[in-house]
Amino acid sequence: MFFGVLAGFVWTIAKVALPLMARQGIHRGIELDEPNALRNWTIGIVVVALISGLCTGMRRYLAFGVAYRVETDLRLKMFAHLQRLHFAFHDQSQTGQLMSRAATDLQQIQGFIVMIPITFSNLLTIVLVAIVVMVINLKLALLALAPLPFLNYMANRFSKRIHPVAMELQQELAGVSTSVEETVTGIRVVKGFGAERVQSARMKETAARVFDRAVYAGRVRAGFMPLLDFIPALGILAVVWYGGHEVLNGRLSVADIAGFLLYVNMLVFPLRLTGQLVSQGQRAVAAAQRIEEILVTEPAIVNKANAVSLPPGNGDVVFDNVSFGYSREAERAVLENLSLTIHAGEAVALVGPTGCGKTTVARLLPRFYEVDGGSITVDGVDIRDVKLNELRTAIGIVFEDTFLFGDTVAANIAFADPEATQERIEAAAALAGAHEFISELPNGYSTEIGERGFSLSGGQRQRIALARAILADPRVLILDDATSSVDPTKEHEIRDALKTVMKGRTTIVIAHRPATIALADRVVLLDEGRIIAEGTHVELLRTSSRYREVLAQAEGAAA
């Protein structure tokens, strides 16, 4: 940036020197008729013009280089920060808003940074022109520069008016991104309900708000920009009127007037650019404020200063009097004083009605959220004392809502270990009951599965997600309704695979199907955030009416 500004200064000096050289050429070559004066001054003007052109290129190259580097660094910093932020932040944030800040807002900042060297050049141009014209003729200079204070007043007024409009415009543009992102992501729902017209109407409203703010911003600029043409014209008028009389009276030469007019004209471009700079600057400030809102958000869940490594172990898990609620305003916590011990290598099934806290247990163990009370330990260490990366590496999760990346099948299975061999990938797929259908895909494990894996069936996606967790080889495996999308006729294939995977591995199974629940060594029945019964599947069927009721409700919902 320093060298960009320096190149701009050299460009400015060369630019300001050109009218002086032209004035000297006219004075010496025409008025004094000195031999070779016109030729010499013409050569000098060409050399200075070449220097000016070279510096213009350097200034632009350096300015764009810095601007794009800043944009890239900010984008990477924002991306890394978004990944560090806790789940509660992402629960409340709209994806389209975040995408807009990582794209549109960063481009506004990049566009302003490009203009920094030329801004310094313009300021230096105005200062140098003011000095030169004062040296030539003080009275004429004062007349030519008299309108500038008024321009400064108008620029400050323009800045105050355009800033809130720029902020609103950036916000509305983010709304467009959100609307597009939601419609494209949920296109199956949109088409399934024939809601294209509904979404088009919503987009029309959003686009109309963007149009309204953009037009209003244009109206504000339209009230200021004409002044940038009119004010320099007043300076030219004063020079022509007063300077003309001075020439007629013999107190000024034609060369002085010519130089004056050239210099006053040199003020036109910097003054016109002032409006663009103020407008671009205000949009950049608005964009920077929106990005800063993200960057200043502190992650709620981070490593402690003295965080320890997870000790060797086989996956003993203890929930000790745990309480948790997603919102402090809620009337009742999701979990209340929950105590549960899962021994190393034991498979425990969590069963209960919707909203009883089963999935919350699965989210608290890898510390996606912080418990409000009590503690959770893995192999004897409180998870709040363990390094986050090590904790989450030791816990494999297969979510009910399966998410696959737009990549090959092999890359999705090897997500936790990109260096995994093909043999390990195929072995994990075989355990998950996925090898057969993957082999039948057009390019096998090299098949691109498209965005979110929607080219596959729900059961196929879940089996790939299961293979992904198996390959990670965690000491604790969480299956959050991981067979819910699998065809019941094929569930036995995965069930047999799960028996192998779960053998000797601590496993938490969240399920509703009796066949899947039966895989567990022990069943824990949750209701309203509390454990109300424990035992084997067969024991609870015999002794707990509530257990039988929950299974019946789940079976009815599935039917």
* Nearest residue to 184 (alpha-carbon basis) of 203, 170, 169: 203
Looking at the chain, how many residues does it have?
A: 559
Whole-model pTM above 0.75? no
- Where do we find the tokens 């070779």? 36
| Domain assignments of the chain as residue spans, ordered by start | 2-295
Range in 23-27, 306-310, 369-373, 544-548 the model is least confident about: 23-27
Q: For residue 86, what are the contacts with CB-CB under 8 A and spacing of at least 6?
A: 299, 300, 301, 368, 369
The answer to whether residues 524 and 348 touch, using CB atoms and an 8 Å cutoff, is yes
Residue 457 confidence (pLDDT): 78
Mean pLDDT confidence for 468-481: 86
Bridge partners of 533, per DSSP, are: 525
Beta bridge partners of 377: 318, 382
pLDDT score for 385: 92
Q: Looking at residue 384, what is its pLDDT?
A: 92
Determine which of 84-98, 141-155, 538-552 has the lowest per-residue pLDDT on average: 141-155
Q: How far is residue 447 from each of residues 86, 406, 408, 444, 528, measured CA to CA in Å?
A: 33, 10, 5, 6, 44
Q: What residues contact residue 382 under an 8 Å CB cut-off, 6+ apart?
A: 375, 376
Write the CB contacts of 233 (distance below 8 Å, at least 6 apart in sequence).
none
**Quick one: what percent of the chain has pLDDT higher than 90?**
10
Tokens representing residue 493 in the block: 């294939």
Per residue in 394-423, pLDDT (tens digit) is: 888 888 777 888 788 898 888 888 888 999
Cα gap 166→454, rounded to integer Å: 38
| pLDDT tens digit sequence for 357-379 | 888 898 899 998 999 999 999 99
- Using the CB atoms, write b or e for 293-317: b if 16+ within 10 Å: ebeeeeeeeebeeeeeebeeeebbb
In the predicted structure, residue 558 carries a pLDDT above the cut 60: no
What is the model's pLDDT at position 339? Answer: 92
- Give mean pLDDT, residues 18-24: 78
User: What mean pLDDT do residues 297-324 have?
Assistant: 89
pLDDT tens figures, 199-258: 888 888 888 888 888 888 888 878 777 777 777 777 778 778 888 887 888 777 777 777
pLDDT of residue 301: 86
Backbone Cα Rg of the chain: 36
Q: Give the per-residue pLDDT at 487.
A: 61
Which carries the bigger pLDDT value, residue 179 or residue 377? 377
Choose between 118 and 491: higher pLDDT: 118
| Helix or strand (DSSP H, E) at 165 | helix 148-185
Distance CA 527, CA 68 (A): 55
Residue 101 has pLDDT above 70, yes or no: yes
DSSP secondary structure letters along 340-384: EEE-TT-EEEEE-STTSSHHHHHHHTTTSS--SEEEEEETTEEGG
pLDDT value at 4 more than 80 = yes
Report, as an integer, the average pLDDT of 117-121: 84
Into which CATH architecture does domain 2-295 fall? Up-down Bundle (1.20)
**pLDDT class for 299, splitting at 50, 70, 90?**
confident
Question: How far is Cα 559 from Cα 556, in angstroms, rounded to an integer?
Answer: 5
What gap in Å lies between CA 479 and CA 466, rounded to an integer? 8
**Where does the pLDDT of residue 341 fall: very low under 50, low under 70, confident under 90, or very high at 90 and above?**
very high
